Structure 1
Amino acid sequence: MSAETPVCQLLERQDADYRGWLWVAPPRDRWLEGGEGELLAADRAVLDAWSARGRPTHTPFEAADPAPPGVVLFWPKAHALGEWWLLWLCARLPTGTPLQVVGENQGGIKRVLKVLAALGLGCRKVDSARRCTLFASRLARLDIAPDAAWTAFEAEGLTLASHPGVFGHGKLDDGTRLLLERLPEVLPSEGEALDMGCGDGILAAWLARRGLDITAVDVNGFAVEATRRTLAANGLSGEARHGDVFAGLEGRRFDAIVSNPPFHQERAIDYGPAGRLIREAPAHLRPGGQLVLVANAFLPYPALLEQAFGGFEILADDRRFRVYRAVAR
């Protein structure tokens, strides 16, 4: 099977022996998923796809340290997250391990030259094609610990944990702020609530402080860890799950589902997760339970809400964001 994504197409044409290598934070690509080596990722959808093919997978939150013959890091859109991956790899893998870094030119891969130089790691260009570039280096011990990337900030009277690559890193998103302004008028102060796409945990913590029993879900493992840290920092309890939308929640029903759902996958617009959230929400709500979500005003969610719930209302619209509410029958 041929590679599907430009970065994997660039790798496919290399003469390197990638058997046993560690693939770090790759995109979904069936060529890669059906090939050699092991996966290191925080994206639940990617982890599940590899696991479904019987491929070895790891997350950066495990205690075990892999020792592969080489590493390929797929450079993310969030450059600070790419730098974190470099710090983690240098801290956890053997010194001298061959490292390749690949990414799209539009995604800022050429910045890797300066990043590696600043870390004291040598670098050379290996290849470029399909508007992507591949660099090579070797891992070395550094003076900066990966945990230094974790920060905290205050919002809505809560302490929020923050990590590069987590939505709203270091600040409260304006859409989330609008959603929080409307929640008190529609949500009860007891019952079970689901925070879908929990990010840094602001909604989960706010709901838990209000008195609801909280389950928080995110496909991004960094977001799940951030939510756990946020709840702990505020002395609140709740369950944070690493999952892809409702996977793993079969049979569970809630009194409320609250969300600021993502609509980007890297730089591409992707309505898939939000569409699944809306379509499947009625099956996870008790009668009279409600879905309350905020979204950019231009997104085509009204039709999805109408189809799934048979009706909805707009609680707020500031021309940039809308807060929608739909009630399960």
Structure 2
Amino acid sequence: MLHNVSQLLLRNQPHFDDAPLLISQSPRDQLAREWEAELLTHNTDFVAWQLAAKVLGERAQFGPAPQGVEVEQAVLVMPKSKDEARMLLAALAALLPVGGRLLLAGENKAGIKSAAKLLEPYGAPMKIDSARHCSLFEVTLTEKAPAFDLADWQQQFELEVAGESLKVVSLPGVFSHGELDTGTRLLLESLPRVKTGRILDFGCGAGVIGTYLAKKAPQAQVEMLDVSALAIKASELTLEANGITNAKVTPSDGLSALTGRFHQIISNPPFHTGVGTDYSATEQLIAEAPKRLVQGGDLVLVANRFLKYEPLLAAGFNNKVDTLATSSQFKILYCRGSGR
């Protein structure tokens, strides 16, 4: 089933027939397979990139921003964050010539109608179409856009948490951009002893948890996973800023990129994909964790208080689920694996 935005773009294919089209942030669907003209894609979402790459090969990019191509028309599918949209529009505009067309597509519930103002720095936005509860806007570049530099969009801040000082680098679109969220702080302040084996930070975001673990246990091997190229880059920058050498970051759909077992899995897991709510990544982690921990290994995760993860955890951990801490918003859940 094609996403509504993909259906909107497909019905406007004749509008793009005169030149190759670059689409940034194409949905997790088969749009690339359905598109009949020459297409390039860019995704910060690893799953969406994998789907596009099966059809487009090297014409599908995965990374924090599109780069290395010259096109005359480009579409951004509206992300959840307006700051991310501004950044990606700047990256796309830098690839276009004067007279090139820059477009923004998105669902009405994602605020696309007001977001069209994000195109104003590049020209006068014009609505091209509305369908499937989505809208498509376009500007024609009247002058050459500035060169794009990802470093211009980075934010660095320092924090003290659970006895450690950290430097954090974040990017637009990364969870809790530019600040430490209260759930992660509660998690780190509630952690049991950090072990000195193989440790996983699942859904690493800007790398706060993984960097903390690597500093706390310099003999440990810390692995960090995320589905977002923006998070991967931010985490790499955060590790570099702290001089960490015992951690690495890997893009992954769930746990699929890594094999073997862990002594600890620590996570403030995501429950958003795009503008919607999606608990599947966390549910997959909970289902797989008992088989991915060594005997006596720990799973520690943050959950909003309204989320009912305890029954799922109890099913995999012999009904042994502890609550390490709570706040008005969050709870820290703990399980010990049997190494099955």
Report the TM-score when normalising by structure 2. Answer: 0.88
* Corresponding residue SS for 2:199: strand
1:75–1:54 CA distance, 2 compared to 1 (3 A): closer
Q: Structure 2 CA distance, aligned partners of 1:169 and 1:116? A: 22
For 1:111-155, what per-residue CA distance to the aligned partner results, in whole angstroms no more than 9, with x for missing partners? 3432222x2423211111222111112355334744311111112
- Is 1:268 aligned to residue 276 of structure 2? yes
Partner letter of residue 235 of structure 2? T
1:70 aligns with 2:70: no
Q: Which residue of 2 aligns with 1:259?
A: 267
Q: Distance between the aligned counterparts of 1:44 and 1:120, measured in 2? A: 29
For 1:160 and 1:168, locate their aligned partners in 2 and report how far apart those are by CA, in whole Å.
Answer: 11
Which blocks of at least 5 consecutive residues in structure 2 are unaligned?
none
User: Aligned partners of 2:40, 2:325: CA distance in 1, in Å?
Assistant: 46
Of 151, 154, 162, 2:155 maps to 151
**In the superposition, relative to structure 1, how do residues 257 and 88 fare at CA in structure 2: closer, same or farther (>3 Å)?**
same
SS in 2 for 1:28: coil
Aligned to 1:199: 205
Q: RMSD over aligned Cα, in angstroms?
A: 2.1
Distance 1:146 1:112, change over 3 A: farther
1:228-252 CA-to-partner distances (Å, cap 9, x unmatched) read: 10011011121011111111212x2
Determine the C-alpha separation between the residues in 2 that align with 1:17 and 1:88: 20
Question: 2:54 is matched with which residue?
Answer: 52
Distance 1:142 1:38, change over 3 A: closer
- Give the SS at the match of 1:246: coil
The alpha-carbon distance between structure 1 residues 145 and 13, as it changes in their structure 2 partners (threshold 3 A), is closer
Superposed displacement of residue 97, structure 1 = 2.8
Shift of 1:327: 1.1
Task: Indicate if the aligned counterparts of 1:8 and 1:32 stay in contact, CA closer than 8 A.
Answer: no
TM-superposed deviation, 1:188:
3.1
Conserved? CA contact 1:291–1:327, under 8 Å? yes
Say whether residues 1:209 and 2:208 are aligned partners: no
**Shift in Å at residue 259 of structure 1?**
0.3
Any stretches of 5+ residues in structure 1 without a counterpart? none
Mapped contact 2:264–2:299 kept (Cα < 8 A):
yes
> CA separation in 2, counterparts of 1:188 and 1:11?
49
3-state SS in 2 of match to 1:16 = helix
Shift in Å, 1:93: 4.1
Kindly, what percent of the aligned residue pairs are identical? Answer: 35
Match of 1:12 in 2: 10
TM-score norm. by structure 1 comes to: 0.91
2:107 corresponds to which of 101, 104, 107: 104
Equivalent residues, number: 323
- Cα distance, 1:255 vs structure 2: 0.7
